[in-house]
């Protein structure tokens, strides 16, 4: 037997080998040692100065279609001025400024400004307007829309049903359902050293308008407008330290919401069901605030290991004064137990993650996440006045809902070769809820994925997952006046089996063509739910192709199809299931486009067509009797055409054309006028249908200070 070398000797030899290796290893090249004196960058484009790309012009909208103005602001016909700008400035010392403006002059305008000096400071500010335009076909007899008091005109005749409201036709008038968001932001980042950075951001959001709301007097209900006059101020501050192999960050987020209106009072359009039931009053969203402190850290350890940790503690609260139990002065009630809800919810979030690759080709990952909602709102007993009609003999208690969510993930991947990698992971979630039917649910998930590059030009991945959820016993909540059917299983807590598959294929055929396919399917089964959601499924398929016909001419096409289905059961007799409901939603969209610069001499053109169709089907099977609702459908067509003629190096003439057509069939709105339903005074919104065109003519001007581009000459 050969003599085994003593370990100390082995160690010494190893140490010497390391030292020799260190001595003979090529020394790293420091930048100072590389002779860059000849690196004059003579072929480089100038880097400092101004570069401005500005476009201005006028558009013409052919028709005033209100819903066309949703997010565009173009709800009126006629001419409008608009413009876009992109401006950039670099100084010779690294100072920079960037200004962007979009749809300037329109209700959907946005301006963003950023500037600063790299690795020293950054400033940023923006303004954005978002127009929301929903309905202009809505009518109401109420006056005071947009305020917190809705009244009926003098001479209004109350009636037991809408058909008896004799003054309705003469009293109703148009009211638009719309909102405008105005968002202002400002921020600053300071990086005084390469290790420290400070960030502070402020955002102010103002929302103004009205949306559709409703209030009832027992089973007689009325739609009306709810005023929106909201303001939110938000501050985000961060302090960060970055060292060679670790980072630490401390953050604060504070948000303050203010609602100008605390309540909405509306006159009773129906004949009162009891004396004194002349008006109703809703509580509008209360002023609230939220604060959160967070601490994050990351560290890089040997053996290609990174650990991350994040902890945040937050509090949401509101203490707006409570409204009285009822506006019906004839109903005696107890005093309120408190003047305000004194509502308070504390949140805790923890995220711990470690990723390591100790062995070549293997990567392991572990993660723990904890989210807690601790509702500290005092639970009190309140009188219950049912829709200003009567005082219930049974008081009610406000219930504070809490949860604790624990999530554990373990995963690993193995790189078989440079083209192939497999992943596998297990995930366990434990969700604990208070005051709900199931105190504890547990979900286990297994997933596996293959990433492969079968040939040089193709990338593919395929993922399969399976999941099972179960938990503690399902206990009916009984301390309420009208409890659930004991057989009901809420789908967010019910036992569930889920399986799914996802796959993505991408092919890049050189510079000329690219092709992508996306497939996804999943199925949920609730085998232990005899009442509630029983089954749901999803299937989706998409394609994406682009092709360069020539170096300059591009064509592209995308398409996507999907279907979601679900089936649920319920009981009209508070017993075992005696009816089921099925839904099937389908959506298809496709886009074709062509970009052709130089279609005729210097004239460039681009054209794009988009089509989208949705179909929603709902059917009920009640003791063997099938009843299917009409299809809910939307159909959308859009054609965009653009022409670009460069008059000179700096000046281009642009013409644009947009056609949009949108049609909707919606049984919830079709044929429903204010008095169609005896006990629903409706706003009579019609499904949105429109066809509209926009023509744009403008000029685009490019100014480049260093190349002196900017002359309007054709030279």
Partner 1 sequence: MGKLEAAGRIWVILVICVGSILTWPGTAYSANTGPEKASEKSTATASDYSKKGADTCLSCHNGERMQHIFRTAHGQGADPDAPFAYLQCESCHGPGSAHTGRQDVGAGHTPIIDFGRDAATPVEAQNAVCMKCHTRDVGLQWTGSAHQNSQVSCADCHDLHAKVDAVSVLTEQADVCYKCHMKERADNLKPYTHPVSQGIMTCTACHSPHHSTGDALLNRNTVNELCWSCHTELRGPYLFEHPPVSEDCLLCHEAHGSIQPAMLTQRPPLLCQSCHSQRGHPSISYTKNGLAGNNPSAFVVNGSCVNCHSQIHGSNHPSGAKLMR
Tell me: does residue 516 bind partner 1 (CB under 8 A): yes
How do strand 220-242 and strand 680-681 relate by DSSP bridges?
parallel
Residue 638 near residue 660, CB atoms below 8 Å = yes
d(CA 190, CA 199): 7
CB closer to partner 1 out of 173 and 300: 300
CB closer to partner 1 out of 77 and 518: 518
Binding residue (CB under 8 A) for partner 1 from 52, 130, 267, 658:
130
- Residues paired with 622 in a beta bridge: 579, 625
Tell me: does residue 488 bind partner 1 (CB under 8 A): yes
The window from 146-154, 530-538, 645-653, 692-700 that contacts partner 1 (CB under 8 A) reads: 530-538
CB closer to partner 1 out of 540 and 656: 540
The window from 152-160, 238-246, 268-276, 650-658 that contacts partner 1 (CB under 8 A) reads: 238-246
How do strand 49-61 and strand 513-525 relate by DSSP bridges?
unpaired
Residue 161 near residue 277, CB atoms below 8 Å = no
Tell me: does residue 422 bind partner 1 (CB under 8 A): no
Binding residue (CB under 8 A) for partner 1 from 39, 155, 473, 478:
39
d(CA 359, CA 414): 10
**For residue 551, how many other CB atoms are within 10 A of its CB?**
8
If residue 14 lies in a helix (H) or strand (E), which one and from where to where?
A: helix 7-24
CB closer to partner 1 out of 583 and 691: 583
- Residues paired with 556 in a beta bridge: 546, 593
The window from 56-64, 167-175, 316-324, 644-652 that contacts partner 1 (CB under 8 A) reads: 316-324
d(CA 522, CA 704): 53
d(CA 632, CA 667): 7
Binding residue (CB under 8 A) for partner 1 from 508, 548, 639, 651:
508
CB of 470 to partner 1, least distance (A): 18
Tell me: does residue 36 bind partner 1 (CB under 8 A): yes
If residue 18 lies in a helix (H) or strand (E), which one and from where to where?
A: helix 7-24
Lookup: tokens for 408: 């554990």
Q: What angle do CA 466, 472, 478 make, to 5 degrees?
A: 130
The window from 166-174, 597-605, 644-652, 664-672 that contacts partner 1 (CB under 8 A) reads: 664-672
DSSP secondary structure, 212-277, as one string: EEEEEETTEEEEEEEEEEEEEEEEEEEEEEE-SSEEEEEEEEEEEEEES--EEEEE--BPPSSTT-
Site string for partner 1, 586-605 (x = CB under 8 A): -x-x----------------
Binding residue (CB under 8 A) for partner 1 from 3, 41, 479, 624:
41
CB closer to partner 1 out of 154 and 527: 527
Tell me: does residue 520 bind partner 1 (CB under 8 A): yes
Tell me: does residue 238 bind partner 1 (CB under 8 A): no
Lookup: tokens for 525: 């089964």
CB of 154 to partner 1, least distance (A): 27
Q: How many residues form the binding site for partner 1 (CB under 8 A)?
A: 213
Site string for partner 1, 535-574 (x = CB under 8 A): -----x-x-x-------------x-x-x---x-x-xxx-x
Q: Which of residues 355-374 bind partner 1 (CB under 8 A)?
A: 355, 365, 367, 369, 371, 373
Binding residue (CB under 8 A) for partner 1 from 326, 447, 652, 660:
326
Residues with Cβ < 8 Å from 98, sequence gap 6 or more? 87, 88, 89, 112, 113, 114, 115
Q: Which of residues 144-183 bind partner 1 (CB under 8 A)?
A: none
3-state secondary structure of 37: coil
- Residues paired with 142 in a beta bridge: none
Binding residue (CB under 8 A) for partner 1 from 161, 273, 347, 443:
347
d(CA 230, CA 251): 26
CB closer to partner 1 out of 501 and 677: 677
Tell me: does residue 441 bind partner 1 (CB under 8 A): no
Binding residue (CB under 8 A) for partner 1 from 159, 171, 267, 685:
685
Tell me: does residue 624 bind partner 1 (CB under 8 A): no
Tell me: does residue 446 bind partner 1 (CB under 8 A): no
Whole-angstrom CA distances from 340 to 235, 277, 318, 324, 692 are: 26, 25, 9, 11, 50
CB of 104 to partner 1, least distance (A): 13
Binding residue (CB under 8 A) for partner 1 from 223, 643, 652, 658:
223
């Amino acid at each position: 037997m050969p003599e085994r070398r003593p370990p100390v000797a082995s160690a010494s030899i190893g140490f010497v080998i390391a030292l020799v290796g260190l001595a003979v290893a090529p020394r790293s090249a420091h930048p100072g040692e590389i002779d860059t004196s000849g690196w004059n960058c003579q072929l480089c484009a100038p880097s400092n100065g101004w570069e401005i790309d500005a476009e201005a012009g006028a558009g013409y909208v052919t028709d005033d279609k209100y819903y066309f103005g949703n997010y565009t602001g173009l709800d009126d016909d006629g001419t409008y001025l608009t413009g876009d700008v992109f401006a950039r400035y670099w100084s010779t010392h690294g100072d920079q400024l960037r200004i962007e403006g979009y749809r300037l002059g329109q209700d959907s305008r946005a301006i963003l400004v950023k500037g600063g000096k790299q690795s020293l400071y950054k400033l940023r500010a923006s303004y954005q307007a978002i127009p929301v335009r929903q309905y202009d076909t809505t009518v109401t007899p109420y006056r005071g829309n947009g305020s917190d008091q809705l009244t009926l005109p003098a001479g209004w005749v109350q009636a037991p049903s809408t058909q008896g409201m004799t003054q309705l036709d003469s009293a109703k008038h148009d009211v638009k359902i719309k909102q405008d968001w105005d968002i202002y932001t400002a921020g600053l980042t300071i990086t005084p050293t390469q290790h420290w950075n400070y960030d502070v951001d402020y955002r102010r959001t103002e929302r103004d308008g009205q949306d559709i709301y409703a209030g009832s007097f027992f089973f007689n209900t009325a739609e009306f407008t709810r005023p929106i006059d909201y303001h939110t101020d938000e501050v985000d501050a961060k302090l960060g330290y970055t060292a060679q192999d670790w980072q630490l960050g401390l953050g604060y987020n504070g948000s303050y919401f203010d609602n100008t209106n605390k309540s909405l009072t509306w006159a009773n359009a129906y004949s009162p069901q009891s004396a004194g039931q002349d008006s109703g009053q809703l509580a509008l969203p209360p002023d609230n605030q939220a604060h959160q402190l967070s601490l994050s850290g990351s560290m890089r350890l040997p053996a290609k290991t990174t650990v991350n940790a994040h902890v945040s503690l937050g509090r949401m609260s509101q203490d707006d004064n409570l409204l009285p139990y009822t506006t019906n002065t004839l109903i005696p009630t107890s005093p309120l137990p408190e003047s305000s809800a004194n509502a308070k919810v504390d949140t805790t979030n923890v995220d711990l993650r470690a990723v390591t690759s100790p062995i070549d080709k293997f990567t392991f990952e572990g993660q723990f996440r904890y989210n807690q909602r601790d509702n500290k709102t005092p639970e009190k007993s309140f009188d219950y006045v049912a829709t200003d009609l009567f005082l219930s003999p049974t008081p009610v208690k406000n219930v504070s809902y809490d949860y604790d969510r624990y999530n554990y993930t373990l995963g690993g991947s193995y790189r078989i070769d440079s083209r192939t990698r497999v992943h596998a992971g297990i995930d366990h979630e434990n969700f604990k809820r208070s005051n709900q039917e199931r105190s504890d649910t547990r979900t286990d998930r297994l997933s596996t994925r293959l990433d492969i590059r079968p040939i040089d030009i193709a990338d593919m991945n395929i993922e399969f997952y399976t999941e099972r959820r179960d938990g503690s016993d399902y206990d009916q909540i009984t301390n309420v006046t009208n409890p659930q059917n004991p057989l009901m299983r809420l789908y967010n807590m019910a036992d569930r089996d889920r399986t799914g598959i996802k796959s993505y294929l991408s092919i890049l055929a050189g510079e000329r063509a690219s092709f992508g396919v996306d497939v996804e399917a999943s199925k949920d089964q609730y085998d232990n739910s005899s009442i509630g959601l029983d089954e749901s499924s999803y299937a989706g398929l998409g394609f994406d192709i682009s092709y360069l016909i020539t170096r300059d001419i591009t064509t592209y096409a995308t398409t996507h199809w999907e279907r979601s289905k679900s089936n649920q059961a319920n009981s009209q007799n508070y017993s075992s299931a005696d009816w089921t409901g099925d839904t099937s939603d389908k959506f298809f969209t496709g886009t074709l486009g062509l970009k052709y610069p130089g279609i005729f001499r210097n004239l460039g053109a681009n054209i794009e067509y988009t089509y989208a169709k949705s179909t929603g089907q709902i059917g009920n099977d009640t003791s063997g009797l099938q009843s299917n609702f009409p299809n809910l459908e939307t159909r959308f067509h859009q054609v965009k055409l653009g022409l670009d003629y460069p008059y000179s190096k700096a000046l281009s003439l642009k013409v644009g054309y947009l056609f949009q057509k949108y049609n909707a069939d919606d049984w919830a709105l079709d044929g429903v006028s204010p008095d169609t339903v005896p006990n629903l005074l409706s706003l009579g919104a019609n499904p949105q249908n429109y066809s509209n065109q926009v023509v744009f003519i403008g000029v685009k001007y490019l100014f480049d200070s260093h190349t002196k581009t900017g002359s309007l000459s054709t030279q």
